[in-house]
């Protein structure tokens, strides 16, 4: 075989900020092209040459492409919802939407007998023959094997299933000629070599719960219906397979065998390995980026080139010659011709009137497209007017007629023309403030306001979200109607931004929720579940206090988030910094863990969070085990939930192995958990004594029990979901739940897992009890993107709570363990050892939970000039209640998303995404009062859309580590300083601190905040006075002329606070505040020089 060498690497990311994996690559058998299909549905073709150039690129589907085949009529592509035939230039010739088959499409294959027909199959065993010449007309429907993962054509029609069974059918009669048992537990790839050879590779045994490839490639002769005497041996393990199928005979074929890591070998011919090539093939290595694996391979019809695709979006082209030809005698490519430039009929410019553009010709008789036909309209009656529920409560009924006193809320015969806002949508804070102010000014009010500012009318009608009665009513089993509190919650924006949204409407509990509208916020449910594991939370907070050398540490950010949730006590929080660091990790991007920009109903959040659990726990372990960090107390090792197990696994996480269909009817949760903890596998190994392969049984034995079990449910199909309902599992007859609340595990003689109810009192000391502490579930609605919720049991009270992002409410245990709803699927379980909190309490007490005072004097990562005078050792540690002034400046990372509606109004879809750029803290006590001891700039790690220099005072080079002359630090180190000040109990003075703290992503208890916005706000007015106007009116200072400066703004805020204290002591504060508003209204709240 000739030597192979890499010809080119193609990395094409059209209009995307991040690459999508290449899921399929294939050579065109009719034109000199190579085709690549990306995970986002894009299809791209390339022309060989020096260099290789792009021929066409277009969006083929809106979801991931599962199969791609070149056809004489165009390119056939398959996605779960559509089969399309497009020209090689990208024009859609035929689209078979999901109306012919019942479930997701999987494969397509051209018919070997009819050039105008193709076979299409879905995963449930339904298939059809489609005519490409007659608009996709179905010629025939037929049944194939269940769970078909691929279908290939040749002289015979071959279908394969995920369990390793291959059916060979006659393409004329569609009858099964023979069935091949590949002896593989899972089939990987299938290839056909004309005229009758079938090649297959796959996985045949499990080691540690992972399927490993069988080193042999199965060779089967469809004509003689026999296996070849020996397969093709590929020692690294074949996972990908390709052959140039258009060769006239197997002797001329080029067989490509590769594994996911980039190792490959080629074989001349597919006959029995009489020649010595199969014994010792030449191995090659594809140059793959780090943490990248191959996804697809292909061989050119001529055999002169091979192609590899990886999950980083890169194509690797190898060849035996510098100028390869993909196809012999290819059809000519259709290239675009130059368009003739026509002279404009009108000279249109900015001064030309629009009336120069004429209207299209209309004969006056043909109906316009805007005319509604009679059969498309229906006459309806006017909707009945809304009746106040309090009127209905006081009504006295006589048959169907009711009588009630007139509340005189509106004039006689007056009818409401607009329906009131639904009761499950909260009002903005500004709306409530205006209503409250209007009520105070009115002498009489129809409906008095409640203490929280809402009107009594809205409070009189209970909503689903606020009704305390529904908190104890479980969802009925098998109910298809989803309660409102399980639906996807969204943040609505007013012109005042997200601060105007009423999060308290969704959360009346003492436990904090997490906001959405943040990239990768699908992790909120997982973060909530981890936070309410006391042992895990203690480890994360302890790591936060250590001098971790990493600038972007996921475990440090998790500790910061946990400290914020501890301080919030029910106030809304956001995981902005944690998710930002998560988004920058290259491995997370390569593994496909990042949330799509616009999730669709096809986005599988359940699989996404299960993969994120594996990745995050492994990442936490790596960051926790850095050699530079001091070790935690040795007594803690027995309780740490991220300690390494003796087998080298990172965390006690397992995946439930669902059994065969026959076994599922009697399986229990304890049996599945037993199979996950101690898997038994059967392996085919080489025996040196008998010189042949023999079957060997292998089993893993559980030696220790971790304090926390993390279990991925791994539900993929409906029959697996039915197990959780309890159908046939014995739960319906006995009345017991399929998922028990508590389980008992023993390792005395062997692994024994039972429900806690089945343990005798005499054997209780031999078992360790585990209880379900949290369940993460996927919620799906028809036509809507799915989302994740967490149901968590509070360790202090034992009460279960539902965490649906920022919606938090109590729930019942019966509702948590009811899995009969089709809209809810369990994804991840957390089981904790009973009594672990009491046992681990001494070890938790030894863990550090406060930052070192010297954090404030940490030198800059990029040490430059600064206005700050660092704190001296005599000033440290700061006393509790130490007064300091805080101000921050921000830059715009992403611009706001604004929707312009048909009536010309502008609707804010998503506000500007701000990022911390500078933070300053001023001493508030003598003898050095007014001097800044903290003035740090934050290094930019992502592109900045707008530095807003006129308002922030930050210039482009100020945040560049290579060019900045400022005191520059990574965000983590700046955050550590602020975290220390908050934990010390400092009192922060500032102007408009709520928005600053929100963007910084830190929570400060209200008792530690003195906001001058609230001090100088009149209860009789809604206006908030700016810092610039207050400084001019009360202090005689003219600030913010050139640009904002956080040191100056913090100093002014401190002086305003002292001024207010002085006025309150003399009793003049109210008069000065009233004069302030009078003067502001006269000047329009602008300084005289700005008029």
DSSP string, 991-1029: SSHHHHHHHHT----GGGEEEHHHHT--TT--PPPPHHH
Residue 1026 has pLDDT above 50, yes or no: yes
According to the model, what pLDDT value does residue 375 have? Answer: 65
- For the segment 830-859, the average pLDDT, to the nearest whole number, is 81
Lowest mean pLDDT of 260-264, 622-626, 802-806, name the range: 622-626
Fold of 5-319: Methylamine Dehydrogenase; Chain H (2.130.10)
DSSP-derived secondary structure letter, 631: P
Strand partners, 43: 37, 58
For residues 848 and 543, give the distance between their C-alpha atoms in angstroms, rounded to a whole number. Answer: 8
Around Cβ 860, how many Cβ atoms within 10 Å?
Answer: 17
Q: Across the strands, what pairs with 47?
A: 53
- CATH 2.130.10.10, the chain: domain bounds: 5-319
Question: Quick check: 21 and 295 in contact, CB under 8 A?
Answer: yes
Query: Which of 337-346, 390-399, 590-599 has the largest mean confidence?
Result: 590-599
Tell me which residue has tokens 């005798």: 760
Residues 197, 221 contacting (CB under 8 angstroms): yes
Tokens describing residue 728: 């046939």
Render pLDDT for 706-738 as a digit per residue (tens, 0 to 9): 888 899 887 877 777 777 775 433 343 455 778
Please state, in angstroms and as integers, the Cα–Cα distance from residue 770 to each residue in 709, 743, 954, following that order.
9, 5, 54
pLDDT single digits (tens) 151-207? 666 677 888 877 778 888 887 778 888 888 776 777 778 887 766 778 888 887 665
DSSP-derived secondary structure letter, 519: T
Higher pLDDT, 161 or 501: 501
C-alpha span between 1034 and 763 (Å, rounded): 78
Q: Which residue's entry shows tokens 């990562």?
A: 861
749 versus 104: the higher-pLDDT residue is: 749
pLDDT at 1025: 93
Predicted pLDDT at 313: 87
| Interval 743-749 mean pLDDT | 89
Residues 6+ apart with CB under 8 A from 744: 753, 754, 755, 756, 758, 759, 767, 768, 769, 770
Residue 197 pLDDT: 79
Q: Determine the Cα–Cα distance for residues 341 and 173; give it in Å rounded to an integer.
A: 57
**Closest among 138, 178, 131, 136 to 158, alpha carbons compared:** 178
pLDDT of residue 277: 43
Predicted confidence at residue 578, as pLDDT, reads 94
Distances (CA, A) of 1025 to 951, 952, 1009, 1032: 17, 19, 18, 11
Does 200 sit behind a cis peptide bond, omega within 30 degrees of 0 on the bond before it?
no
Question: How far, rounded to the nearest angstrom, does the alpha carbon of residue 725 sit from its chain's CA centroid?
Answer: 27
Q: Which helix (H) or strand (E) holds 198?
A: strand 197-207
Distance, in Å, from the CA atom of 187 to the CA atom of 51, rounded to the nearest integer, reads 37
Q: How far is CA 1021 from the centre of its chain?
A: 43
A 10 A CB-CB count for 290 gives 8
Q: Tell me which DSSP letter residue 471 carries.
A: G
Distance CA 868, CA 581 (A): 28
pLDDT at 744: 93
* 3-state DSSP helix/strand/coil % of the chain, to nearest 5: 25, 30, 45
Q: pLDDT above 70 covers what percent of the chain?
A: 80
Q: What is the pLDDT of residues 303-333, one digit of tens each?
A: 889 999 998 889 999 998 888 888 888 888 8
CA distance 456 to 388: 12
- The whole-number pLDDT of residue 333 equals 86
The helix (H) or strand (E) run that includes residue 217 is: strand 216-221
Q: Are 807 and 465 in contact (CB under 8 A)?
A: yes
Q: Which pLDDT tens digit goes with each residue over 666-717?
A: 678 888 888 888 887 777 888 888 888 888 888 888 888 888 889 988 787 7
pLDDT for 808: 95
d(CA 736, CA 730): 8
Contacts of 283 (CB under 8 A, 6+ apart): 236, 263, 264, 265
E strand intervals along 782-840: 784-793, 800-804, 807-811, 824-833
25 touches 10 (CB < 8 A): no
Phi, psi of 890 (to 5 degrees): -135, 155
Residues of the chain with CATH 3.90.70.10: 498-687+701-846
Q: Between β-strands 157-161 and 148-152, what pairing exists: parallel, antiparallel or unpaired?
A: antiparallel
- Diameter of the chain measured on Cα atoms: 108
Instruction: Quick: pLDDT tens for 613-630.
Output: 999 998 998 888 876 666
CA–CA distance, 92 with 60 (Å, rounded to integer): 8
Q: Mean pLDDT over residues 833-848, rounded?
A: 81
pLDDT at 431 over 90: no
Distance CA 276, CA 266 (A): 13
- Non-local CB neighbours of 587 within 8 Å, separated by 6+ positions: 291, 615, 619
Q: 776: Cβ–Cβ under 8 A, 6 or more apart, which residues?
A: 525, 526, 529, 609, 788, 789, 790, 826, 827, 828, 829
For the cut 70, the answer to whether the pLDDT of residue 1037 exceeds it is yes
Under a CB-based contact definition with an 8 Å cutoff, are residues 884 and 924 in contact? yes
- Alpha carbon distances (Å) from 366 to 371, 372, 390, 457: 10, 13, 55, 53
Question: Of 1087, 1072, 1028, 1033, which Cα lies nearest the Cα of 1052?
Answer: 1028
Give the per-residue pLDDT at 446: 38
More confident residue, 142 or 57: 57
Q: What is the mean pLDDT of residues 798-826?
A: 91
What is the mean pLDDT of the segment spanning 85-107? 76
584-595 tens-digit pLDDT: 999 999 999 999
Q: Inform me whether the pLDDT recorded for 68 exceeds 80.
A: yes
pTM across the whole model: 0.61
- Model confidence at 459, pLDDT cuts 50, 70, 90, reads very low
**How is domain 498-687+701-846 classified at the CATH fold level?**
Cathepsin B; Chain A (3.90.70)
- Only one residue has tokens 């709570």, namely 801
| pLDDT at residue 890 tops 90 | yes
**Would you say residue 41 has pLDDT above 60?**
yes
22 pLDDT more than 80: yes
Helix (H, G, I), strand (E, B) or coil at 365: coil
pLDDT-derived band at 441, boundaries 50, 70, 90? low
Nearest one of 138, 208, 72 to 653, comparing CA atoms: 208
DSSP 8-class letter at 238: -
* Residue-by-residue DSSP string for 900-919: E-TTS-EEEEE--EEEEEEE
The pair of structure tokens assigned to 571 is 């106030």
Mean pLDDT calculated for residue range 1031-1042: 88
Total count of residues recorded for the chain = 1091
Dihedral sign for Cα atoms in the order 356, 361, 365, 368: negative
Those residues whose C-beta lies under 8 Å from the C-beta of residue 337, and which sit 6 or more positions away, are none
Give span(s): CATH 3.30.420.10, the chain: 853-1090
Q: Which CATH superfamily is domain 853-1090 in?
A: Ribonuclease H-like superfamily/Ribonuclease H (3.30.420.10)
In angstroms, rounded to a whole number, what is the distance separating the alpha carbons of residues 166 and 179?
6
Give percent of the chain with pLDDT exceeding 90.
Answer: 29
- Tokens describing residue 1034: 């009360």
pLDDT in tens, 958-993: 998 888 888 888 999 999 999 999 999 999 999 999
Q: What is the distance in angstroms between the CA of the first residue and the CA of the last residue of the chain?
A: 84
Give 1014's pLDDT tier (boundaries 50, 70, 90): very high
DSSP 507: B
Please report the DSSP string for 242-270 in residue order. Answer: EE-TT-SSGGG-EEEEE-TTSEEEEEE-S
Over range 516-525, report the average pLDDT: 92
Residue-wise pLDDT tens digits, 275-303: 344 446 788 999 988 778 999 999 998 88
Least confident of 452-456, 771-775, 1013-1017: 452-456
Helix or strand or coil: residue 506?
Answer: helix
Return d(Cα 32, Cα 330) in angstroms, integer. 6
Residue 314: left (phi > 0), alpha (psi -120 to 50), or beta?
beta
Instruction: With beta carbons less than 8 A apart as the criterion, state whether 119 and 129 touch.
Output: yes
Q: Between 399 and 167, where is the model more confident?
A: 167
Residue 623: per-residue pLDDT: 87
Average pLDDT over residues 1020-1032: 89
């Amino acid at each position: 075989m000739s030597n192979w060498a890499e010809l080119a690497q193609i990395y094409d990311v059209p209009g995307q900020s991040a690459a999508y994996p290449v899921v399929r690559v294939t050579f065109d058998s009719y034109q000199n092209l190579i085709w690549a299909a990306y995970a986002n549905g894009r299809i791209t073709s390339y022309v060989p040459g020096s260099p290789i150039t792009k021929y066409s690129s277009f969006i083929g589907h809106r979801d991931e492409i599962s199969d791609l085949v070149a056809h004489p009529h165009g390119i056939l592509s398959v996605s779960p919802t559509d089969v399309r035939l497009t020209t090689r230039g990208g024009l859609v010739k035929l689209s078979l939407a999901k109306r012919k088959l019942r479930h997701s499409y999987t494969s397509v294959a051209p018919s070997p007998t009819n050039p105008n027909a193709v076979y299409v199959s879905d995963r449930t065993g339904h298939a059809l023959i489609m005519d490409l010449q007659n608009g996709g007309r179905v010629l025939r429907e037929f049944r194939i094997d269940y769970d078909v993962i691929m279908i290939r054509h040749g002289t015979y029609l071959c279908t394969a299933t995920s369990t390793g069974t291959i059916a060979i059918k006659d393409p004329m009669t569609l009858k099964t000629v023979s069935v091949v048992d590949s002896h593989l537990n899972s089939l990987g790839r299938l290839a056909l070599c004309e005229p009758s050879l079938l090649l297959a590779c796959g996985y045949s045994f499990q080691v540690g719960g992972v399927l490993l490839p069988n080193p042999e490639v199965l060779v089967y002769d469809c004509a003689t219906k026999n296996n070849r005497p020996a397969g093709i041996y590929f020692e690294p393990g074949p996972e990908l397979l390709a052959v140039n199928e258009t060769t006239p005979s197997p002797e001329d074929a080029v067989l490509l065998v590769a594994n996911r890591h980039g190792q490959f070998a080629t074989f001349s011919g597919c006959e029995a390995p009489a020649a010595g090539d199969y014994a010792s093939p030449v191995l090659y290595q594809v140059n793959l980026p780090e943490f990248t694996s191959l996804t697809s391979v292909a061989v050119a019809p001529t055999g002169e080139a091979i192609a590899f695709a990886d999950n980083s979006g890169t194509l690797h082209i190898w060849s035996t010659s510098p100028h390869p030809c993909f196809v012999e005698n290819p059809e000519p490519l259709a290239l675009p011709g130059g368009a003739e430039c026509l002279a404009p009929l009108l000279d249109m410019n900015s001064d030309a009137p629009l009336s120069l553009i004429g209207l299209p010709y209309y004969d006056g008789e043909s109906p316009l497209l805007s005319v509604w036909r009679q059969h498309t309209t229906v006459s309806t009656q006017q909707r009945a007017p809304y009746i106040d529920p309090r009127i209905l409560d006081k009504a006295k009924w006589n048959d169907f007629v009711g009588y009630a006193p007139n509340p005189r809320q509106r004039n006689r015969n007056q009818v409401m023309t607009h329906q009131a806002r639904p009761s499950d949508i909260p009002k903005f804070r500004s709306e409530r403030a205006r209503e409250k102010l209007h009520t105070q000014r009115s002498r009489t009010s129809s409906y008095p306001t409640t203490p929280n500012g809402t009107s009594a009318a809205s409070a009189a009608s209970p909503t689903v979200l606020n009704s305390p009665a529904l908190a104890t009513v479980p969802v009925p089993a098998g109910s298809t109607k989803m309660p409102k509190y399980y639906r996807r919650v969204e943040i609505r924006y007013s012109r005042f931004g997200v601060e105007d949204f009423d999060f308290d409407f969704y959360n009346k509990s003492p436990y904090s929720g997490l906001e959405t509208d943040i990239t990768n916020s699908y992790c909120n449910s997982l973060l909530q579940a981890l936070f309410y594991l006391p042992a895990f939370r203690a480890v994360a907070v302890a790591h936060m206090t250590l001098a971790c050398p990493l600038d972007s540490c996921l475990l440090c950010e998790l500790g910061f988030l946990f400290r914020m949730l501890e301080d919030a006590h029910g106030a809304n929080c956001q995981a902005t910094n944690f998710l930002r660091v998560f988004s920058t990790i290259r491995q997370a991007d390569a593994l496909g863990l990042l949330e799509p920009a616009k999730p669709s109903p096809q986005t599988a959040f359940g699989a996404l969070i299960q993969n994120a659990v594996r990745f995050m726990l492994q990442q936490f372990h790596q960051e926790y085990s850095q050699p530079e960090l001091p070790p935690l107390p040795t007594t803690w090792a027995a309780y740490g939930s991220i300690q390494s197990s003796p087998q080298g696994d990172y965390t006690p996480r397992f995946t439930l192995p669902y059994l065969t269909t026959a076994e599922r009817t009697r399986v229990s949760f304890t049996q599945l958990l037993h199979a996950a903890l101690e898997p038994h596998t059967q392996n085919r190994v080489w025996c040196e004594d008998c010189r042949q392969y023999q079957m060997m049984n292998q089993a893993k034995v559980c030696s220790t029990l971790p304090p926390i079990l993390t279990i991925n449910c791994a539900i993929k199909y409906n029959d697996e979901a039915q197990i959780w309902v309890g159908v046939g599992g014995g739960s319906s007859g006995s009345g017991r739940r399929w998922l028990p609340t508590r389980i008992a595990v023993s390792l005395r003689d062997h692994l024994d897992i039972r429900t806690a109810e089945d343990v005798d009192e005499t054997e209780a000391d031999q078992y360790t009890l585990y209880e379900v502490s949290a369940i993460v579930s996927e919620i799906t609605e028809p036509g809507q993107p799915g989302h994740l919720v967490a149901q968590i049991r509070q360790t202090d009270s034992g009460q279960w709570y539902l965490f649906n992002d920022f919606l938090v409410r109590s729930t019942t245990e019966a509702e948590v363990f009811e899995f009969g709803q089709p809209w809810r699927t369990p994804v991840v379980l957390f089981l904790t050892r009973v009594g672990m909190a009491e046992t681990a309490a001494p070890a938790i007490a030894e863990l550090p939970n406060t930052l070192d005072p010297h954090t404030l004097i940490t030198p800059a990562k990029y040490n430059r000039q600064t206005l700050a005078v660092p704190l001296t050792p005599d000033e440290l540690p700061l006393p509790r209640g130490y007064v300091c002034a805080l101000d921050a400046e921000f830059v715009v990372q992403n611009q706001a998303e604004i929707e312009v509606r048909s009536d010309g109004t502008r609707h804010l879809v998503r506000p500007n995404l701000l990022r911390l750029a500078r933070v300053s803290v001023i001493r508030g006590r003598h003898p050095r009062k007014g001097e800044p001891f903290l003035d740090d700039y934050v290094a930019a790690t992502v592109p900045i859309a707008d530095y807003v220099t006129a308002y922030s005072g930050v210039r482009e080079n100020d945040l560049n580590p290579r060019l900045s002359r400022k005191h520059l630090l990574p965000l983590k180190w700046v955050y550590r300083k602020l975290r220390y000040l908050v934990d010390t109990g400092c009192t922060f003075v500032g102007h408009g601190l709520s928005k600053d703290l929100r963007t910084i992503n830190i929570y400060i208890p209200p008792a530690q905040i003195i906001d001058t916005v609230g001090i100088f706000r009149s209860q009789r007015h809604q206006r908030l006075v700016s810092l610039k106007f207050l400084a001019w009116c009360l202090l005689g200072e003219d600030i913010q002329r050139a640009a904002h400066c956080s040191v100056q703004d913090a100093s002014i805020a401190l002086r305003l606070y002292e001024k207010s204290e002085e006025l309150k002591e003399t009793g003049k504060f109210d008069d000065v505040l009233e004069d302030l508003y009078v003067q502001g209204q006269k000047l329009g709240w602008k300084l005289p020089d700005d008029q």
